[in-house]
Amino acid sequence: MSDRTRYLALDSHKETIAVAVADDAAPEDLGMIPNDPTAVRKLVARVGGPGTRLVSAYEAGPTGYALHYRATVRSAEERVRRLEASLRTAIESSPQAQLVATLQSLRGVAFLTAATIAAEAGDLSRFATAGQFMAYAGLVPSEYSSGASRHRGHITKTGNELLRHVLGEAAHHAWRPPQVSRTLKNRQENLPQSVVDLSWKTQQRLHLRYRHLSGRLGRPKALTAVARELAGFVWALSRLVEDGSSSFTEAVR
């Protein structure tokens, strides 16, 4: 908790900013500072600091708005960092910790995507087949039957929308040739070789699938097909986690 709140008033002009600050005492005029980011950072460090919650007010003009925008973006980024740190802490003590670590072996599936899949899908062992998991994500084609004829249409989109979204976003990485970047290699560190091998197989398969379908059906349909197959590999990795030995459990902690 902050010890106190200070109010910072900034009247921005093209070259300068008039500054005043107030807390429990009467407002204090701090004079003028140059209108540039370095000067503003120094001001914030001087009037804020540990134990102080700084609340800023800006004029409505365009120069003031730019400062307000930067401050808003910075504040939002800090909130995201705090939320992600809290989520990581929660995952570490969760029964899904092994699954989240394992899913990050896949290209395009970093922590937030892996955590979303685990949270939205729950216990993947409840899906007896990869096809059931694909259907849960709403990534299987719809079918229309007429007599002995069957016709396939667009994907059903009747499953979990958020799960389908993150799988679709991860599928975009398939257009690049298979490669293990330094970041991905770090995520795979200490994971069982069976997981690393399946991750590489996934890259090869999805890239080949994308290249084959994008030229024939177009990019959107190719990405949908890749997302569907990615769901199958996610399910396969979950089986490795479920069937793994105690050494696997230790590796992904």
3-class state of residue 232 by DSSP:
helix
The pLDDT, as a whole number, for residue 21 is 83
The pLDDT, as a whole number, for residue 149 is 59
CA 203 – CA 220 distance, rounded (Å): 19
In the chain, the percentage of residues whose pLDDT exceeds 70 is 83
**Greatest CA span in the chain, whole angstroms?**
85
Please check whether residue 6 is in contact with residue 53, taking contact to mean a CB–CB distance below 8 angstroms. yes
The residue with greater pLDDT, 14 or 85, is 85
The pLDDT, as a whole number, for residue 248 is 46
Phi-psi region of 134 (alpha: psi -120 to 50; beta: other; left: phi over 0): alpha
The pLDDT, as a whole number, for residue 8 is 85
One CATH from 3.30.70, 3.40.50, 3.30.420, 2.120.10 for 4-90: 3.30.420
**What does the pLDDT average to over 106-117?**
97
The pLDDT, as a whole number, for residue 151 is 58
Is the pLDDT reported for residue 247 higher than 50? Answer: no
CA 25 to chain centre: 43
Q: Which of 237, 225, 120 is nearest to 172 (CA)?
A: 225
The pLDDT, as a whole number, for residue 152 is 65
**What does the pLDDT average to over 131-138?**
95
**What does the pLDDT average to over 230-242?**
96
Q: What are the boundaries of each domain within the chain?
A: 4-90, 97-251
> DSSP character for 30?
E
Tokens of 182: 């330094």
Is the pLDDT reported for residue 117 higher than 50? Answer: yes
**What does the pLDDT average to over 93-108?**
96
Strands in 13-75 per DSSP E: 16-22, 28-34, 52-58
CA 106 – CA 195 distance, rounded (Å): 9
Q: Cα-flanking dihedrals φ and ψ of residue 9, to 5°?
A: -105, 130
The pLDDT, as a whole number, for residue 27 is 74
Other C-beta atoms closer than 10 Å to the C-beta of 82 total 10
CA 176 – CA 239 distance, rounded (Å): 27
The mean-pLDDT minimum among 55-59, 191-195, 212-216, 232-236 falls in 55-59
Tell me the pairing of strands 16-22 and 28-34.
antiparallel
